Amino acid sequence: MQLSLQELHLSNNNLSDVDFLQGHATDLPLMYLDLSFNHIRSLGGYAFDSIPLLRLLYLNNNPIGTLDDESSFAIRQLKSLEVLNLGETRLESIPDWLFERNGKSLRFLDLHGNHLMQVPRALQKAVTLVSLNLDGNPIRALDATSFVGLGNLIQLDVSNLDSLQLIDTKTFTPLRNLKYIDCSDNHQLKNIHPDAFHNVTTLALFAFNSNGVESIPPYLLPWDTLAFYSIHNNSKICSTLNVVICHDSKLVWVLRDNGKALHVVTCIEENKEQSYSNETGCPSVSASSSSLLFHPFVLFAVSFGIFLPYI
């Protein structure tokens, strides 16, 4: 009798190994295997030999900790693998050679909630990735080497990186097809380089909420061409570029550099003795308002994309 099982859902079954997959006389036509939320710490080197057609593998929420040689070998042998979820498996690193055999088939990789301190170099071999989730890792910095080889990537999640302090120049330049990025809730992030997105021309959605930056570089992105962007709730940035300013501090844009508009997004603290427009967040025009001007700069506030001078 020929087996026709293509999907196997085994999450939340207190499994500690996958030995039951081994020893079959013929290959199984399994394409989807869910082993999430079990107690698996290691995989045998030949754990998946009987399921060579596997395309989707979910190992998330297992206490793996370290991808030892046998576990790595088992994953590496899956030449047709398209989706791999290793989220919340306590990983501190990934072997550089993990994707040597399936790097040209893998499209979706989830590494959220691990202990990775840098973007794994193994990803450089995963050249067909279109979606990468690094949410919730203690990555300290992102730079021009972080995403090398990922030219097909469309969606990237680098949120909740509690140790992230710097996004350096040309960090996202290798991502020539990037359309969606979520870079939010990175509370230690103090600096994003003005050229972090150098030569990235495909971006449609940019989420940059609740970070620790004090300003956003003026030419970070071509704001007018984005389908959607949001920079709510940054510690020193009051609101998005096109909505009403928050109450406690005021969003302003600075014109400088011989009159060339640099549009630096920053904030000035609210002066309780000064009245402010509810619509724009600008100080109301009055004789006392001159004390708030940062000469020789000319300050502009933003309301629904309109620059409103107050001097």
Per residue in 149-166, pLDDT tens? 999 999 999 999 999 999
Report how far residue 132's alpha carbon sits from residue 309's, in angstroms, rounded to the nearest whole number: 42
Q: Where are the alpha helices (DSSP H) in the chain?
A: 69-76
**What is the pLDDT confidence band of residue 22, given thresholds at 50, 70 and 90?**
confident
pLDDT value of residue 231? 77
Per residue in 63-115, pLDDT tens? 999 999 999 999 999 999 999 999 999 999 999 999 999 989 999 999 999 99
Q: Kindly tell me if the per-residue pLDDT of 192 is higher than 60.
A: yes
Report how far residue 292's alpha carbon sits from residue 267's, in angstroms, rounded to the nearest whole number: 12
Among residues of the chain, what percentage have pLDDT more than 70? 73
**Beta carbons of 133 and 114 less than 8 angstroms apart:** no
pLDDT value of residue 205? 94
Report how far residue 205's alpha carbon sits from residue 155's, in angstroms, rounded to the nearest whole number: 10
pLDDT value of residue 149? 97
**What is the pLDDT confidence band of residue 291, given thresholds at 50, 70 and 90?**
very low
**What is the pLDDT confidence band of residue 228, given thresholds at 50, 70 and 90?**
confident
Continuous segment of H or E residues that includes residue 261: strand 261-269
As a whole number, the mean pLDDT across the chain is 80
pLDDT value of residue 229? 82
Q: Kindly tell me if the per-residue pLDDT of 130 is higher than 50.
A: yes
Q: Using alpha carbons only, what angle is made at residue 308 by residues 304 and 311, rounded to the nearest 5 degrees?
A: 165
Average pLDDT over residues 202-209: 93
Q: Kindly tell me if the per-residue pLDDT of 269 is higher than 60.
A: no
pLDDT value of residue 198? 96
Average pLDDT over residues 11-18: 96
Q: Using alpha carbons only, what angle is made at residue 97 by residues 82 and 202, rounded to the nearest 5 degrees?
A: 50
Q: Kindly tell me if the per-residue pLDDT of 33 is higher than 50.
A: yes
Q: CA Rg, the chain, in Å?
A: 25
* Domain limits, the chain: 242-311
**What is the pLDDT confidence band of residue 49, given thresholds at 50, 70 and 90?**
very high
Report how far residue 184's alpha carbon sits from residue 172's, in angstroms, rounded to the nearest whole number: 16
Average pLDDT over residues 250-278: 45
Structure tokens at 280: 């724009």
User: Which of 13-27, 119-133, 211-225, 271-285 has the highest average model confidence (pLDDT)?
Assistant: 119-133
pTM score, whole prediction: 0.78
What torsion, rounded to 10 degrees, do the Cα atoms 211, 216, 221, 226 define? 60
Structure tokens at 248: 């406690």
pLDDT value of residue 16? 95
Tell which wins on pLDDT, 259 or 174: 174
